[in-house]
Structure formats: C-alpha cells, structure tokens
Structure 1
C-alpha cells in the first residue's frame, strides 16, 4: 500500500489544542495478582512456548516466552472500558513465519547496522543482512525469535516477569557470550516498566529495545493518524535511501519531525520532505534533549483524542525511534481478526542510535567484560 493511501486524519485531531502534558491517572493503586501461565504453542523442534499474563493497576499484559513478545497490552479508556492497544497475532505460527517484530524483545542490536558489519578493537564482524543491504534488529534470527526462560515475581505493589537467556559467542555474528536479563514490571499505577541488564565475557556491541506496535484507540481499530505526539527532541538523525543515518544531528525545526509541541502523526507523514520519502513516513531516530541518564526521564507523550487514552514514556536512553507503521500493507491479520494496513499503528523504540558501531560521533554501544549494560524504559498509561 502506498503512503498516499493513508486514511484521512480524524476530525477530532483538528479540535482544540489538546495539551498532551496533562492527563488524570486512569488507574487506582491496586495489588497485582500472581502471574498466570498457559501453553501458547509448540515450535517445530518440539519446544513449548508459554504465555504469561500479568495484571495490576488496571493494566493487563500478556507475554510469550518466544521472543519475550508482548502479545497483548490492555488498558482502560476515559470511560473505564478496557481494550488491547498493541498489535499482534492470535497464534504462534504467525509469529514464527510472518511477524514484523510485533511486540518483540529486540537484540542484540536494535535498529540497523550498515552493510551488516562493524569493526571493534581491530576485528571486523559480519552480521546477517536482512533489510536490503543492512542488518536489522539483530539479523534474521534476533532475540525476538529465541525462547527465553521466565520467572514470575510479586511484591511491594508490583507484579512482573524476569526473562533471561545467554546469547552464545558468535550468535548472529556478534562477539562475546552475553548474559541478558530483562524484567517486565506492572506497577500499582498500571505502568509498564522494562529493565534491561547484560554482561559479556568479550567486547561486543549491544542495543536492546522493545518493538511494541501501539494503537491507543484499540488493536485493529484503524489508522493512528489522529493520535497526537509530543516528543522532547530538538534534533533527529537523517538517513540515506537505505535508512542508515548520515551522521548528522539535524534540527527538527521547520521539518515534519518537529513534535516539540503535540501534533497529529498523520500531519507529519503527509508533509512533503525527502526524509519522509526515504521511510515512506516517519521511521527515524530522535535525539532526546535529556541525553543519557541514570534514571528514566521524560521522553514523550502520545494521546488518542477519541478514546482519551494517553501514554507517556520515560527512559534512560538517548534516542527514540519513531515508526509510523509504514510497511504494514494489509496482508497481516491480527488478534481481532482485522487486517493491519499502513498507518494502523506506531512504534516508539527507546534506544541508542542506529548504526552507532560505525558512527564514532554517536554515543558508544560497546560493552566490555567487567561492565554491566543497564537500560530502563517506563510506559505510563492514563486517560482524560
């Protein structure tokens, strides 16, 4: 489907300068139930895949042991009506054969690495090429296509899952045996928090993220063009024709990428601009004004005027990939039984910058023995 076939921006978007910064909490504090577990399917090699369900503070999260995938994320609207706001599939076979990273835990390297190679300490490492000439999201079998060990936990008003696996030295071309721990937590206020940690026995590069596709009006409900996005980023990283950054940190002012004040996603993707053409919409890394932080700090707010749902994100990361569902083309059918078309979702991937191993001016993504990789991102849900 071409970009020009996007549906008209919702009329509600034009209404009234909805200030994105505000929003009454949608959830009362509540204790979480013990996570539940059920069989979701079996892989071709006989490995069983389980689905875990977490519920707390009005939010419900369903997570697969395959890929650490968020299969469903339910949160209430302004009237208290709960809906799944993440795209996904109803069965395991579609995740294995078709998924464009729906809900996946991404690694070893989120986003693109140019020509599937990088040099570290004088040694060139070659990676699987799976996105034109480039390696994307860890190659053709990244962390989103591996089975994770999962342990549930509860306590202090929180409920969660600890996902662990060791990526062996040389997996997908990356050096070092990497021990990874990712914790999904639901708080009493219905926040979804992700804490990533990792250690390695050999110098490597690492950039972990989550690739949930959101539609705050509800999964399968149609276009997100009317959603309002506010992003605390004065610069972004322009890309070439294959979506690899040029190395420039360009100002967003007077471009379609200026979300410093809340504006409709559809307005941005329809603005004529060379960069919009490269991505068939927005598919760009934004340089967060806050930079790298030791604790999660404010990055963005996105709001759906129709349902009243609001999601704020806080992160320790310096970048945020905004992707406006440009390559959804009507060939995938989701959990609701409806097809997903171009612009039916958006992704917000907290991250270090794309292709950082080949861009010396970007913040480093090198992890060395003795050091610990740490990253945290929080999704805070409310309504108004």
Structure 2
C-alpha cells in the first residue's frame, strides 16, 4: 500500500494533515484529520479511467465556507434532535438550535468541526488511519466526557471499512455516522438521477414538515421508497409523493433494514460501470439525495447543484433517544464497509 502524508492547511492554528493511500488496483482513498473528512475516493471505471467518486474540496477554507458536511464524521448524534433537547433519567439537556428549532448533526461545533489526533498503521495489504478525539462533558450540551476513535481501514480488495468506538464517563447518547456524498459517474460528470439503488428495507420513518421523524414507520410497498429490487433514484426524486416533497424534492429519510436479510445496500452507475456495495451492523440508513445543495459554490471546478451527490448514512434511528443511550463506561461500537467494483455488462 502506497501512503502519502501532506499538509492540507490549518484550522484554529492547528495543522490539518492529509493521508492518501493507493492500492495495487489503482484505487486510492484520501482523508484529513479535520473532521475525519474523506476528501477523495478515486476508482477506475469500466474503461480504466480513475476518477473521484465523492464530493469534496481541496482547501480547509472551502469546507468552512461551503461544505454541507461533505465526507465528515458526524457526532455526537447524527440527524436531527427535536427541539434541540432531550432527557436522561429525568434530567433535561439542551443543545444548540442549528436547524430551525432543532439540533442537527451534533451542533455547529460537532465532530465535523474539530481536528482529531491521528495514527497510521501501514501494512502490505491494508492501511489503517486511526483518528481519536475526546469530547469534554457538556460539549455542545451533551453529558459525559466521551472518548471517540474512528478507524478507516483501506485494503487491496477495494474496501474501505469505517469503525467507530466511543466510551463515556456518564450516561449519554451517541449516534455516529459518516456523511460522504457519492457520485459514481466520476469527477461529477453527471448527477445521481440515473444511479440505481438497492436496499433491503421494508419500511421508512415518516417525517414532519420540519424533517423530524414522527415516530411512525411507513411501509415501502407500492411507494417510491421501495428499493428492494433496485431502481433509479430519479423515479423518487421526480415523484409527487408527499414525503419526497417535504424534503425538497428527493429523499432525506431513515430506511429501516429488514432484519431477516443482510443489512446491505448497492448503488450502480451504468454508464461508468462503477458499483458501490455497503454493509453495516446498524439498524437503519438515512438516504439523502442532496436536495439542499445550492448552486452558489463550485466543487473542484464543477458548479454545485441539487442531486449532485447522495449519502447513505448508516446509524441508529435518529431522534429516538431511548435507542441512542449509552451507559457509563459502556463501549459503543459500530462498523460500516464500502466496497467498490465494476458491474458486469
């Protein structure tokens, strides 16, 4: 495995380091220690052209100015927490309101907005980049000092595995995910409308008009949310389903995995031939289709626009506080693997 370390810039007076790893198949993966951001994943297409398949920037300032969580680790909690408050054992906790009346993705100074400590383990067939951060008690309003480790493992099988571990010195809530935006066309040549998604999911969470889950699980049967047999993303984006309209024309919904089937997802972009398969141990994935991407900035020379990338954010069900609880000294652990290959014609 070929590893290159370089200076990506600075944030709050700290150097931001970039780690780029390439395997023997011509695939490479790059991340930085600011927010554990995945800045690039370069994958060959059917013709052998190696191109980037995630949305990202080349400078820290661009992430600060424009990034809607491109490629970062989200914490302490992914998604929205209604009214930016919750209780544990009768004690109320109040968070930042950074999405209307709600808390989004852990608050404005969540895990996406800090420089993490990093250690690299580079071996012949795999490379691990291990990020660590200790979040102080009441940081962004959350209880407990939380020690977090995120490990990116990249190997010769074109697999990128993201492993999360956290331990708190108080009872608290935790729900970590990675917020990479994918576009398998390569170098953002096309939107994601003709990407084909398959998910083993029988139900999804209904959202209210402020995008908070109502608690009601709706069946995917007979709806544009049914990806069990695979279909193009555009079919949902162009539909008039009230739930796709609520989120700005597209998807931004937790899909619940079918417990009787493997927790797998697959996305194929037929023109390039690229295929992404995702495995997880989490009960749900938030499928987001970049409905809120504006056109007021550019991404490596490409004008941003709606539906230029999609996210598959593996996680616990957002806003279900009882399911996010982690006891004092309990080890929170979860793993998600992203596997890149080519679809047979």
Q: Normalised by the size of structure 2, how large is the TM-score?
A: 0.96
Q: Which residue of 2 aligns with 1:196?
A: 164
Q: How does 1:99-114 map to 2 (within 5 A)?
A: 99-114=67-82
Alpha-carbon distance in 2 for matches of 1:153, 1:323: 32
Name the SS for the 2:64 alignment partner: helix
Name the SS for the 1:276 alignment partner: helix
**1:228 positional shift:** 0.3
Q: Which residue of 2 aligns with 1:90?
A: 58
Q: Which residue of 1 aligns with 2:38?
A: 70
**1:371 positional shift:** 1.2
Counterpart selection for 1:348 from 286, 289, 312: 312
Please state which structure has a larger fraction of its residues in strand.
2
Alpha-carbon distance in 1 for matches of 2:295, 2:65: 16
Name the SS for the 1:342 alignment partner: coil
Kindly report structure 1 stretches of 4+ aligned residues shifted beyond 2 Å. Answer: 56-59
Alpha-carbon distance in 2 for matches of 1:353, 1:79: 39
Contact (CA 8 Å) 1:54, 1:160: kept in 2 or not? no
Contact (CA 8 Å) 2:165, 2:333: kept in 1 or not? yes
Name the SS for the 1:214 alignment partner: coil
Alpha-carbon distance in 2 for matches of 1:207, 1:156: 33
**1:156 positional shift:** 6.1
Q: Give yes or no for the alignment of 1:376 onto 2:340.
A: no
Superposed CA offset, 1:148-188 (max 9, x none): 01111123621120000100000000000000001001122
Structure 2: give runs of 5+ residues left out of the alignment. none
**1:143 positional shift:** 0.4
Q: Give yes or no for the alignment of 1:49 onto 2:16.
A: yes
**1:370 positional shift:** 2.6
Structure 1: give runs of 5+ residues left out of the alignment. 1-31
Alpha-carbon distance in 2 for matches of 1:317, 1:161: 22
Q: How does 1:27-38 map to 2 (within 5 A)?
A: 32-33=1-2, 35-38=3-6
Q: Which has the higher contact order (CA 8 A, sep 6+)?
A: 1
Q: Which residue of 1 aligns with 2:109?
A: 141
Matched positions, count: 341
Counterpart selection for 1:306 from 257, 271, 276: 271
Counterpart selection for 1:182 from 121, 145, 150: 150
